[in-house]
Amino acid sequence: MKYPLQKELEKDLQESVELLEEALESRDGRRLTITRCYYNAIKRIVAICENRNRY
């Protein structure tokens, strides 16, 4: 059985992975889009880690 926090972390990490995949797929010279996607994904992963440390 999964704990609620574990489910939430898995969901957030999956969304972060999807953002990274989106960035990799959009390699058409739109560097800002790629940078934004990476930034958002990394920011989410950091937030997840910070939240996890609170429990």
Cβ atoms of residues 21 and 40 within 8 Å: no
Predicted local confidence at residue 4, as pLDDT = 76
| Angstrom distances, CA of residue 53 to CA of 1, 38, 40, 48, 49 | 21, 23, 20, 9, 6
pLDDT for the residue 38: 76
Domains of the chain: total: 1
pLDDT value of residue 39:
79
- Residue 35 confidence (pLDDT): 72
The token duo for 3 is 């704990």
- Whether the predicted model's global pTM rises above the 0.75 cut: no
Q: Which residues of the chain have pLDDT under 50?
A: 55
pLDDT at 30: 59
Q: Containing domain of residue 39, as a range?
A: 4-53
CA atoms within 13 A on the CB side of 33: 10
Contact 22, 37 (CB under 8 A): yes
Q: Write down the pLDDT at residue 33.
A: 66
Residues 33, 26 contacting (CB under 8 angstroms): yes
